[in-house]
Amino acid sequence: MSANSPLALLDRDRVRELFDLRGAYLVQTGGDYRGDPYPVWHRLRDEAEVHPGVVHELTGYDRPAVFAGLPIPERPHFSAFSFAACDAAYRNPEVFASSPTPVDPNDGDLRTQNSMISMGGAQHRRYRSLVQPSFMPANAGWWIEHWIEDTVQHLIDGFADQGRAELNVDFCAAIPVLTITSSFGVPVSQALEIRAALRQPQVLIDLLRPIVADRRRTPRDDLISVLVEAELPDEDGTAQRLTDAEIYSFALLLLTAGSGTTWKQMGITLTALLQRPEVLDAVREDRSLLRPAIDETLRWLPTDPMFARYVMRDIDFHGVHLPAGAVLHLCIGSANRDPARWENPDEYDITRRSRPSFAFGSGAHACLGMHVARAEMTTGIAALLDRLPNLRLDPDAEPPAFIGMYERGATEIHVRFG
């Protein structure tokens, strides 16, 4: 990498520390799980669509694991494994809520669960409407031209003349975190500090406070400026600007989702293609196949295979009685391979008829950044195919493997080219 490149300031050892599923930073979500959960999930789904218990325990992972603050010991937990059950829960947000209590980003509790992702009803619609235009497909080019393309090319510059590289951490992990932090106006030298601050909200506030203040004085063409200029309508229709706390809440959510999922999904896609050279060759020759290759990976192995909803009233649900106060875990990994919806669901087949999966959620809470995520993956993988001839797995290195329970991804992807 050229010393003049802004990415020369990126601490690669720190990237590996923050983005290794097996490391201390991510092991709490079951990052050390090395098994294949899908045979167990198939058996569970065949036995019943909904089971008492939490996904990792039902899968046979016997260590503590958490996801979004769950499980909560005092609440009864259930897990849904069929497409039909997950779909029914997504379609009934009044019974299956994303938060058991009202959410208010202004109450001083800066955490992902106290942000838009946990809001419901009119409150969620109002907040989402503020930023949704920036994440629509028509604005994918804004992201690509401003941040994604330059980041991808600079990263490839760093290893293009070496004949070999590690793509999962050194490439895939760097793209989303640099895209999101750059859209905040954060310099590369502070990008990883921002990522590490996900568990230290006050550090995140301290890093963002001067940027927010500057954008209030002088807006620019970036995401923080979009937020400071956005107007949130009250229930009576009166428009108000977002508070600093609300902006920090948005930033935390976008950083958590943007830098925490896309890199793993890109690594899964690259691994799936590299393990199937004939499919990789087909995508190289016909780039229109790249989008279905990515979408098939999202179905076949979503990086976040479980989400959860709180049961707000007693309900009989797909053969099980769910009491009010319970938590229903939606095992979308299992749902995405339900043979009732997909033929030969365990096969990675980029030619299969496209049908929506749950990789980006569903309903009102469908992933806000899905189009940016697809833009990052498409731009990154296409650039690798453009610039690295004869891209292939390194036969002298340990092949990548899929690991993780609640955050699934690939281990190191060592490749050769040229």
pLDDT for res 9 = 60
1-10, 68-77, 250-259, 294-303 — most confident range: 294-303
First to last CA, the chain: 18
2-11, 60-69, 159-168, 255-264 — most confident range: 159-168
Q: 72 phi and psi, to 5 degrees?
A: -100, 115
pLDDT for res 7 = 58
At 78 the three-state DSSP class reads strand
- Predicted confidence (pLDDT) per residue in 7-58, tens digit: 556 777 887 787 888 876 678 899 999 999 999 999 999 999 999 999 999 9
Q: Would you identify the CATH topology of the domain 6-416?
A: Cytochrome p450 (1.10.630)
pLDDT for res 198 = 75
* Residue-by-residue DSSP string for 10-63: --HHHHHHHT-TTSTTTGGGTTT--S--HHHHHHHHHH-SEEES-HHHHHT--S
194 or 220, greater pLDDT: 220
- Predicted confidence (pLDDT) per residue in 133-156, tens digit: 878 877 888 899 989 999 999 999
Kindly state the tokens that stand for 252. Answer: 């935390």
- Provide the residue ranges of all domains of the chain, joining segments of one domain with +: 6-416
